[in-house]
A = this chain, B = another copy of it.
Amino acid sequence: MPDTNALYDRLCEYVRKTALLTSTSALLEWDQQTKLPAAAGEYRSAQLTFLAGEIHRRSTAAELGDMIGELSRSDLAADPMSITGCVIARLEKKFHRTSKLPVRLVEELTRACSSGQRVWVEARQEDDFAKFRPVLETIIELKKEQAGAIGFEDCAYDALLDEFEPGAKTNEVADVLERLRVDLVPLVEAIKASAIKPPVEILHRSFPVADQEAFGRYASEKIGFDYDRGRLDVTHHPFCTEIGPDDCRITTRYDETFFSSSFFGTLHEAGHGIYEQGLDSTHYGLPAGQYCSLGIHESQSRLWENLVGRSKSFWKHFYPEARQRFASLANVPLEDFYAAINHVAPSLIRVEADEATYNLHIIIRFQLEQALINGELAVADLPEAWNAKYQDSLGILPPSDSDGVLQDVHWSAGLIGYFPTYSLGNLYASQFYDAAEARLGNLEAMFAKGDFAPLKQWLNQHIHAQGQRLTSTQLGEKVAGEPLSHDRLIKHLKEKLTPIYQL
């Protein structure tokens, strides 16, 4: 036993050292997206590539495999819910997954995705899918090969999904998202048919950037993002990243004539940040101190952005402050503002979509990427399939591939299996919210008083501090007290949208 404990300590030390490199790499990337001088891109790529090589070398080293192998047969691995059990089991899974990939495949994927993103930018600008097609074909073939190398039981997509949502199964995700779709489509139709049109114009007035930043910072701090352990900066494509146990950085972008983009974007990223800041920092770099899955991560951003941030009571608290800060809102009644920020309408672009139709965008991508990986859809036929699905689900036909099949970076970057985690996050968010309310009492009454601490602390305890001890399916079921389901999201949407649109 003493030897096993010493070996476990050695394993942790090894993995923590790798985390020093990973977090340093995260700083290089954060800086690239927020601060990097215009001419410095090429060398930054070289720095990132070198570190990626070192991280990969450490992550696949025989030394690591040997330690994991020995410990996985020890008593320390017996209880998967213990810290040691969690650490050993998750590291073992990751090591095997990484080690199964031939170096040649890893290099080819890196090359294809690097070139893919470059070509995608051009193809999107020129509205030329044909230009993107060859590299996407290569990426799809390599992702199929990757799935094969990793191995799977039911379908190849399972192996890819597992990278982002460990343990999730394609058919289960497909079932719940299909049920969601079936309920969403008539809801969106009803809203389209409603005579009520929220005054969205009020959100497109003048909102000075400095005031937007100050207000976003104020609100994100109020809900619980800790600026002693984080930052807020400006970028093109907002994200949240973690550069150390006490260094979580969120980003946003400002549009001087649109309120929602930065404000709800900041709440969204702050939700991600609150998750990162709620992880157990004593296990930083180890699975016991890492986020569970992308779906759970997204549940936290969506919960704060939509369920809290677009609630009436949230604005009962914040709206007086907003009106003081923004002259454009001085004469706008709270009811109008509330209706406008919850406006629902089918649109072309996923990242600009509202809370309800957003999921339809995701489901389309999820279905299409499954078909690509399972060989049921050729890349050449992708634009046609895309447009058909947009017509079918959202009732709109993209006027160009730039605003259609070419709008997202994910596929060009080899991120296949990533999209469904966005909608899983929406489902989990509603379930977690209801579970929190069942335990804590009327949350909206707290929000109206500016009291967000009880909800945050509940999430800290039941979700954040759990790390990777459970898979997302297990964690979701434990916290929500029920299996993954679309019911609560639909209930939330209906409860909010019915009065607004008088459905």
> What is the interface of chain A, defined by CB distance below 8 A to chain B?
17, 20-21, 23-24, 27-28, 31, 35-40, 42-44, 46-47, 50-51, 226-231, 243-247, 284
CB contacts (< 8 Å) of A47 on chain B: these are: 20, 23-24, 244
Q: Which residue of B lies closest to A41 (CB)?
A: B246
Known A-B contacts A20-B46, A28-B27, A50-B21; A36 and B228 likewise in contact (beta carbons under 8 Å): no
- Is the Cβ of B17 less than 8 Å from the Cβ of A50? yes
- Is the Cβ of A24 less than 8 Å from the Cβ of B28? yes
CB contacts (< 8 Å) of A46 on chain B: these are: 20
- Is the Cβ of B39 less than 8 Å from the Cβ of A228? yes
A329 to chain B, nearest CB (A): 26
- Is the Cβ of A31 less than 8 Å from the Cβ of B27? yes
Q: Which of B20, B21, B37, B229 sits near A39, CB closer than 8 Å?
A: B229
- Is the Cβ of B37 less than 8 Å from the Cβ of A229? yes
CB contacts (< 8 Å) of A17 on chain B: these are: 50
Given contacts A37-B230, A40-B247, 5 further A-B contacts (CB under 8 A): A24-B51, A36-B247, A37-B247, A40-B246, A43-B247
| Docked pose: A20 CA to B51 CA in angstroms | 9
- Is the Cβ of B24 less than 8 Å from the Cβ of A227? no
| Docked pose: A36 CA to B24 CA in angstroms | 13
| Docked pose: A322 CA to B302 CA in angstroms | 49
A59 to chain B, nearest CB (A): 16
| Docked pose: A30 CA to B497 CA in angstroms | 48
CB contacts (< 8 Å) of A246 on chain B: these are: 37, 39-40, 42-43
- Is the Cβ of A244 less than 8 Å from the Cβ of B43? yes
CB contacts (< 8 Å) of A21 on chain B: these are: 50
- Is the Cβ of A229 less than 8 Å from the Cβ of B50? no
- Is the Cβ of A243 less than 8 Å from the Cβ of B24? no
Q: Which residue of B lies closest to A246 (CB)?
A: B39
**Subset of 22 A-B contacts with CB under 8 Å:** A17-B50, A20-B50, A21-B50, A24-B24, A24-B28, A24-B47, A24-B51, A27-B27, A27-B28, A36-B247, A37-B227, A37-B230, A37-B246, A37-B247, A38-B228, A39-B246, A39-B247, A40-B229, A43-B246, A43-B284, A44-B244, A47-B244
